[in-house]
Amino acid sequence: MTSLLLRNIGSLVTNAPDCPGDLGLLENAAVSIRDGVIVWAGPDDEIPVALLRGASIEVDGRAVVPGFVDSHTHLVFGGDRADEFSARLGGASYEEILASGGGIHSTVAATRGASTDDLVAQSSERAHRMLRSGTTTVEIKSGYGLNVTDEIRMLEIAGRVGKQTGIGVMRTFLGAHVPDRGMSEEEYVDAVVEEMLPSAAPHADFCDVFVDRGAFSVESARRIFRAAADHGLTARLHAEQLTHTGAAALAAEVGAASADHLDNATPNDAIALAAAGVVAVVLPGAGFSMRTPQAPARMLWDAGVVLALATDCNPGTSYVESMQFVIALAILEMGLTPDEAVWAATRGGARSLRRDDLGVVRPGAVADLVILDAPSHRHLPYRPGSDLAWKVIKSGEVVQ
Ligand code: NIG
Ligand code: FE
């Protein structure tokens, strides 16, 4: 049995009330961990004697928060698109680049052309940087394979990245990212439903569809989600990102775990998402990198939608790895409060992945914690761009 005790925590975010935005803060706190699981959290001067044995870390007044849950990434990819980024800085549009066969298609070519070992190595480097900066669970999508072999290869690589780095991984099949070059939308959806989904389902937890102009229609997505449900995969989707298509309403209709992006979401979308209990995953790194207006996170929160924050790490719209930076952006650019943003980056992410054991500090939860080199989580937006992770604990093990 391995045990670890964190002592003299200045400010501990527990999220224990399980109510969006209520961090359940404890001051002068301690946390006891056994075999990777939290067994006790409370005031430092009330630690049960039986828990005082074993290894301990003197936190010395620092703040501790649950490990960040990054619930939307495209972490596995070959190559990069720095040239495209420069072209966009010069005025080129994302949609035009995609329509002319670049964008996602150039990453598909680079991913197909890379060896599995190279993809594991490059993706693990990214995952390792995420873990060191406090992300203890990451959702990873396929979507740069666009055929049976390469989509499954991406999902297997995502699994290997988790084993190699120790970061927690949840996997999403995004075969319907864009139709492969040379195929109509209809032909491609047939291939997703008939060939890809049956083979990919055993390697994935969720099924995603990019619903947008230049990608897939609401009707295509509805068909794919029906087939996904038959294979045991829960829906999550890229919704209302570049244009408004009705994807958020579809998310509510099919009972999706999440609707992501939502840059063009309306108050009616918010009502539908809130009523259906669909988590809104907002991605401020994408709006920031694309220099487009941010999703209406404030409106969504105020309408009662449960919010999660994620990086959207991908080589096109958001080559962002740091959840600390995303939290700062959500506060400074979207108008969330520090308590709301930290909740959304931890428990909100866990909710969107339907993981009740993550993003919370209470007995029985996975012992994923970040010790900040700061007295309060409020330093995250106050000091944007600094890495404030002093130590990161994943399943009870200190990883940094
Ligand atoms: O989340 N919108 C679709 N997918 C990604 C971008 C993928 C890419 O450009 O490579 C996104 O923004
Ligand atoms: Fe995405």
Q: Does ligand 1 come within 6 angstroms of the Cβ of 263? A: no
Q: How far is the CA of 169 from the centre of ligand 2 (A)?
A: 16
Answer yes or no: is the C-beta of 73 below 6 A from any ligand 1 atom: no
- Residue 241 near ligand 1, beta carbon < 6 Å: yes
Q: Is 286 in the pocket of ligand 1 (CB under 6 A)?
A: yes
pLDDT of residue 306: 98
Is the model's pTM score more than 0.95? yes
Q: What is the pLDDT of residues 279-324, one digit of tens each?
A: 999 999 999 999 999 999 999 999 999 999 999 999 999 999 999 9
Q: Is 285 in the pocket of ligand 1 (CB under 6 A)?
A: no
CB of 74 within 6 A of ligand 1: the answer is: yes
pLDDT range class, residue 132, cuts 50, 70, 90: very high
Nearest listed ligand to the Cα of residue 105: 1
pLDDT at 303: 98
pLDDT beyond 90 at 29: yes
In tens, the pLDDT along 101-117 reads: 999 999 999 999 999 99
- Concatenated DSSP letters for 126-179? HHHHHHHTTEEEEEEE--S--SHHHHHHHHHHHHHHHHHH--EEEEEEEEESSP
Please report the atom of ligand 1 found closest to the CA of residue 315: 10
175 Cα–ligand 2 center, Å: 13
pLDDT of res. 234: 98
pLDDT tens string 156-194: 999 999 999 999 999 999 999 999 999 999 999 999 999
Q: Does residue 142 have its Cβ closer than 6 Å to ligand 1?
A: no
What's the CA angle centered on 106, arms 102 and 107, to 5 degrees? 135
CA 314 to centroid of ligand 1, rounded, Å? 7
Q: What ligand has the least distance to the C-alpha of 172?
A: 2
Ligand with minimal distance to 290 CA = 1
Average pLDDT of the chain, as a whole number: 98
Nearest CA to ligand 1 atom 8: 316
Residue 1 has a pLDDT of 76
Kindly give the distance from the C-alpha atom of residue 121 to the centroid of ligand 1, in angstroms, as a whole number. Answer: 22
Residue-level pLDDT at 325: 98
Task: Indicate the helix (H) or strand (E) that contains 106.
Answer: helix 104-113
Spacing, Cα 71 to ligand 1 middle (Å): 14
> 3-state DSSP call for residue 276?
helix
pLDDT of res. 398 = 98
Residue 155 clears pLDDT 80, i.e. is over it: yes
What is the torsional sign of CA 104, 106, 107, 112?
A: positive
Please name the residue whose Cα sits nearest to atom 12 of ligand 1.
317
Closest CA to 355 of 140, 173, 138, 163: 138
Query: Confidence class of residue 258 from pLDDT cuts 50, 70 and 90?
Result: very high
172 CB within 6 A, ligand 1: no
User: Which atom of ligand 1 lies nearest, measured to the CA of 283?
Assistant: 1
Alpha carbon distance 74, 38 (integer Å):
30
**Percent of the chain scoring above 90 in pLDDT:** 99
Ordered by where they begin, the domains of the chain are 3-66+359-398 (2.30.40.10), 69-352 (3.20.20.140)
Nearest to 134 by CA among 261, 311, 334: 311
For residues 268 and 249, give the distance between their C-alpha atoms in angstroms, rounded to a whole number: 9
- At residue 47, the pLDDT reads 97
Give the pLDDT mean for 343-372. 98
Confidence tier at 254 by pLDDT (50, 70, 90): very high
